[in-house]
Amino acid sequence: MKVKAVGIRTRYWRPGTDYVAEIVGRVKGRVEDGDVLAVSEKAVSTASGLIVDEATTEPGMVARILAGPWTRRIWGGPLGRITCLKGQTLLNLRNYPLREGAAHKEVALRIAGLLQSLRHYSEGGIDASNLPYSYVSLPLPNAGAVAERIRDAVKARTGRDVTVVIVDGDTTFSWRGLHLAPRKVQTPGLVHLGGFLVFVMGRALGLRQRQTPVAVSGEPMPPDTALWLARLHHRLCGRGAGRTVWSMSARLETSLTGVTWEMLESVRHYPVTLIRFVD
């Protein structure tokens, strides 16, 4: 498979941004029939206002246990080693912030449930990176409708037929024709067995890891192709202000909750990738 791909730079999409108009404006005059547009789910969620301020959340006892002994001792210890987490990640987990972490786990419990909350990050598609203060983004409730809306707008404004793939940066694990998604998604061929279990099993067994195409609108494609495109998008879109809240705060030289909207706007963002198959 030969492709040409380029990351499309945009301004940072604050809540209320017309992301469809932003995408169409950036690809108009560049897109052709048969192209694929891969779009970051997190960027769309933020633009759509699907964010929660965890500073206003009061954690319960279960959330406090998950943020304390579970994350600090279990993930920062034996479970982290079993899943081959990097040394810096283990250190971050052993120093997981108790107050902010408990609030985050409480949001995860309410939105994604216990099995997802047992994960050490990206619980059910909840993401804190590239967001300011104590905000986290939530997964799109209907990513397929979002992909279709973008595709229809591109067709209406440019006359071009494209395929749109909405991509979550969290990992899908593959073994031959079996693709285990971190959560339930709309992409055909990806199955979900519980986020915590999928992550532990996939990492412990060394299964192939690629980012997750949560929805596809346009030409049908095999799941392996959708996963390959999601991985390509992830490589080209970069990490924005940081892959995690720790790396984000370190890069911007502030505390974990000290990042501002203005700081994020000073960083280059590439939420869209234009992909073209060539002969």
For the chain, the structural domain boundaries read 3-45+141-253+265-277, 52-137
The tokens of 222 are what?
């095999």
**pLDDT on residue 187:** 97
User: Is 1's pLDDT higher than 70?
Assistant: no
User: Is 239's pLDDT higher than 80?
Assistant: no
**E-state strands within 110-182:** 135-137, 163-175, 178-181
Find out whether 125 and 144 touch, Cβ atoms under 8 Å. no
User: Is 145's pLDDT higher than 70?
Assistant: yes
**Domain 3-45+141-253+265-277 class, CATH top level:** alpha beta
Collapsed DSSP state (helix, strand, coil) of residue 2: coil
Q: What does pTM read for this prediction?
A: 0.95
Q: Which of 61-75, 107-121, 244-258 has the lowest mean pLDDT?
A: 244-258
Judging by DSSP bridges, how do beta strands 178-181 and 208-217 pair with one another?
unpaired
The 8-class DSSP code of residue 14 comes to -
User: Is 237's pLDDT higher than 90?
Assistant: no
Q: Which of 5-19, 132-146, 191-205 has the lowest mean pLDDT?
A: 191-205
Q: Mean pLDDT, to the nearest integer, of 198-208?
A: 95
What's the alpha-carbon Rg for the chain, to the nearest Å?
A: 18
